[in-house]
Amino acid sequence: MHAMLADDAGNLSWSAVPDPQPRRDEVLVTVHAAAVNRADLLQRVGKYPPPPGAPAWMGLEAAGIVAGVGPDAAPGPGGRPWQVGDRVCALLPGGGYAEAVAARPELLLPVPAALSMAEAASLPEVFATAYLDLVLEAGLQAGDTVLIQAGASGVGVAAIQLAKLLGAHVLTTVSGPAKAAAVRRLGADEVVDRRSGDLGAAMDACAAAGRPVAIALDCVGGTDLGPHLARMADGGRWVLIATLGGETAEIPLRVVLKRGLRLIGSTLRSRPLAMKACVIAGVHQTVWPALAAGTVRPVVHAVLPMAEAAAAHAILERGENIGKVALTVLPD
């Protein structure tokens, strides 16, 4: 088969690689589409190597057709055994940029009937991240005010929709009026344009209105983290998932102590299989019915052929995307 390989300089090439050899407890998936994540950009330049046992090439999520089921493969979420011919999307430790991939059956989800493969490929990583961090890590409850940084990103779009589905009040940040309009259409209650607005003032206004920020989902970090953390509600949970704004921050420890604040570091890729399976089961139970009902939807900014993976990465590098960018290998 072929997969998208990166050389030491980060150049990409669609190259012949050995066919995947699924274990007895795995499922073989013929890939129709994969989606792009920032982790792919880091892996491409050698800054985020795949975990042991994962393919060397990129791709944390993909969608396609089940081509083989190992005799010891577990059923999927909901207890239904996977069958050859099923349309599935997969959460992967890597390897989605390829013609086929061996996947864990516990980390597959059925493709909703109305969705294309490109749309389905855009779902597993971002909704799993949002569910892990908002629900399992931060314990989101109806009525909570949630701050979501970079609301127009893939994870941001998923997190806004999940938070609203669960009854939260959403404050989010974006860059530019087009992204602000897009996240409002998704249900964001308050939007701060980082280019012209003041997130601290918006958090203070939420507190003054009786709805202080209880949970933050932050991919920015950097020097603003400390002052914003201090504006959280008592018992607030700040979940840090990336450091796009910098890796260092000065944190007011006395405020953390007095108000019971929690700073939680979280990545999905490194979690044990059992935890990922729990996350996927939660996504299936919570998000999949809403997808079927149309109250949650995939947001795909662009769909490009796999041969244009470098151009797809450039869209994320320039920060142009609203939602996900997908790569197609085979037609639907």
pLDDT tens, position by position, 55-85? 999 999 999 999 999 999 999 888 889 999 9
pLDDT at residue 77, as a whole number: 86
Closest CA to 62 of 327, 310, 331: 327
If asked whether residues 226 and 319 sit together in one domain, one would say no
Does 330 have pLDDT greater than 90?
yes
As a whole number of angstroms, the distance between CA 195 and CA 177 comes to 10
If asked whether residues 304 and 183 sit together in one domain, one would say no
Is 272 a domain residue?
Answer: no
**Mean of pLDDT values over 184-211:** 97
pLDDT at residue 184, as a whole number: 98
Burial (0-12, 13-18, 19+ Cβ within 10 Å), 262: middle
Domain of 94, CATH number, reads 3.90.180.10
Residue 54 sits at φ, ψ, to 5 deg, of -85, 155
Cβ-Cβ contacts under 8 Å for 289 (sequence gap 6 or more): none
Is 273 a domain residue?
Answer: no
Burial (0-12, 13-18, 19+ Cβ within 10 Å), 42: middle
If asked whether residues 46 and 92 sit together in one domain, one would say yes
**Mean of pLDDT values over 166-179:** 98
Tell which phi-psi region holds residue 143, choosing left (phi > 0), alpha (psi between -120 and 50) or beta.
left
**Helix, coil or strand: residue 221:** coil
Kindly report, residue by residue over 151-161, the tens digit of the pLDDT: 999 999 999 99
pLDDT at residue 299, as a whole number: 98
If asked whether residues 253 and 144 sit together in one domain, one would say yes
If asked whether residues 111 and 137 sit together in one domain, one would say no
**Mean of pLDDT values over 231-255:** 96
As a whole number of angstroms, the distance between CA 187 and CA 169 comes to 9
> 132-167 burial string, b = 16+ CB within 10 Å, else e?
bbbbebbebeeebbbbbbbbbbbbbbbbbbbbbebe
Kindly report, residue by residue over 95-144, the tens digit of the pLDDT: 999 999 999 999 999 999 999 999 999 999 999 999 999 999 999 999 99
If asked whether residues 246 and 313 sit together in one domain, one would say no
Q: Which domain holds residue 296?
A: 2-123+292-328
As a whole number of angstroms, the distance between CA 81 and CA 27 comes to 11
If asked whether residues 136 and 114 sit together in one domain, one would say no
Is 250 a domain residue?
Answer: yes
DSSP 8-state class, residue 285: H
If asked whether residues 63 and 6 sit together in one domain, one would say yes
If asked whether residues 143 and 189 sit together in one domain, one would say yes
> 30-39 burial string, b = 16+ CB within 10 Å, else e?
bbbbbbbbbb
Return the structure tokens found at 160.
Answer: 């806004």
If asked whether residues 118 and 44 sit together in one domain, one would say yes
Q: State the average pLDDT for the chain.
A: 97
Residue 109 sits at φ, ψ, to 5 deg, of -130, 145
| 57 bridge partner residues | none
pLDDT at residue 78, as a whole number: 82
